[in-house]
Amino acid sequence: MEQAYWLSWSQIRGIGSVTLKRLWQTFGSLERAWYADQTQILQVSGIGAQTWAEISRARETVDPLALYAQHRQQNPQFWTPADPQYPRLLLEIPDPPPLLYWQGQLTQWSETQTVAIVGTRQPTPYGRAWAYKLGKALAEAGFVIVSGLAEGIDGEAHRGCLSGRGQAIAVLGTSLDKVYPAHHHQLAEQVREQGLILSEYPYGTETDKSFFPRRNRIIAGLCRATLVIEAPAKSGALITAHQANDYGRDVYALPNRVEVREARGCLELIAKGAGVILGVEELLNTLGSIPLLDRPVSPAGHGSSALPLPTDPLHARLWEILPPSGSLSLDAIAEKSGLPLGEVSAALLQMELLGVVKNCGGMHYSRP
């Protein structure tokens, strides 16, 4: 019951999402980490004597399975990084949310087709029109549209996506039971019916203004590309764009007149190398040319239906360890490779996104 241990670890003071990811990569399982000794735990970067004291206290007072059962009563639907449904692209960021609460119909989607559309809460009519137009056009072209359900550009992007009968994902800066702004309740319900609503906060969490900048990293992490429609020089949309850039994802901005305050941030992004949105067709062509984690070409003599083979030396080494049929646990793969568990875990995630290994759940992997 790995979910129970993700929940328990996330409740410990001093253990944030970065440290949780390090624990998971070090031990391969947070259940295993829960029962590790002090020497092993203190080897994890970011954990010192004070944090160890908090961990020891939690182990004495918390029953992970009981806590999990109680938590599920009010929060029946959530994913942890150990779950196969957890977005794989989100695992690439340094601090993926340890628990991702969800509502809706969309539990699996093409992560190579995810695009964020973000911008100011107070857009010009020009910005509103383009957010709606791009949301609709990209949805009709098969892209999954991600935004934050906020006033302004976010709302128009969601409405455009829904109009194009596309798959919409809204990432909230509140818990799922506290939609903000309040007048977006109907829009939120439409997204639930046609897509997915996500939050890293459990039901009943009191909203804090710091949640909204934190939410932006999830939007950026979920997507292969981020489109900034309008953004003043200082805005949350620019935070999302910079985070997307830090994650190695593509960033595009809609140009506007220099004197338009709402567009200043977009012009600065373009000046720093962001792609320019020149129109719907041009954007679709550009997005279509982004490498979408395509599988490597099959070797000659095996035909187009042969299994994809990795070209990276480390990936090839791990691929050879996997049996022709059946699966191996992360621990077994690391042991056979002689490599650190964290390094093997990170490599297998990349291989999964490339399509050269399959995540079978429960930290087990197989050839596709």
pLDDT digits (tens, 9 = 90+) for 165-191: 999 999 999 999 999 999 999 999 999
Q: How confident is the model at residue 362 (pLDDT cuts 50, 70, 90)?
A: low
Radius of gyration over every alpha carbon of the chain, rounded to an integer in angstroms: 22
Q: What is the pLDDT of residue 289?
A: 62
What domains are defined for the chain? 2-74 (1.10.150.20), 104-289 (3.40.50.450), 313-366 (1.10.10.10)
* 161 backbone dihedrals φ, ψ, rounded to 5°: -60, -45
pLDDT at residue 355 is higher than 90: no
pLDDT at residue 305 is higher than 50: no
At 6, which helix (H) or strand (E)? helix 2-10
Strand partners, 170: 147, 197
Structural contact between residues 271 and 156, judged by C-beta atoms closer than 8 angstroms:
no
What average pLDDT score do residues 329-341 get?
86
Mean pLDDT taken over the chain: 89
Q: What is the pLDDT of residue 147?
A: 97
What average pLDDT score do residues 9-22 get?
94
Give the tokens for residue 349: 């995630």
Structural contact between residues 201 and 88, judged by C-beta atoms closer than 8 angstroms:
no
Q: What is the pLDDT of residue 40?
A: 94
299 CB-side CA count, 13 A: 4
Give the tokens for residue 219: 């939007």
Sole residue written with tokens 């994902």: 169
Q: How confident is the model at residue 302 (pLDDT cuts 50, 70, 90)?
A: very low
Q: Which of helix, strand or coil describes residue 275?
A: strand
Total-model pTM: 0.79
Percent of the chain with pLDDT over 90: 67
pLDDT at residue 290 is higher than 80: no
Question: What's the rounded Cα separation, in Å, for the pair 8 and 10?
Answer: 5
* 181 backbone dihedrals φ, ψ, rounded to 5°: -70, 160
Quick one: three-class SS letters along 202-269?
CCCCCCCCCHHHHHHHHHHHHCCEEEECCCCCCCHHHHHHHHHHHCCCEEEECCCCCCCHHHHHHHHH
Residue 215, judged by CB atoms within 10 A of its CB (0-12, 13-18, 19+), counts as buried
pLDDT at residue 8 is higher than 80: yes
Structural contact between residues 222 and 114, judged by C-beta atoms closer than 8 angstroms:
yes
Q: What is the pLDDT of residue 236?
A: 87
Q: What is the pLDDT of residue 309?
A: 64
Tell me which residue of 368, 367, 366, 361 sits closest to 82, measured CA to CA: 361
Helix axes 2-10, 64-74, angle to 10 degrees: 90
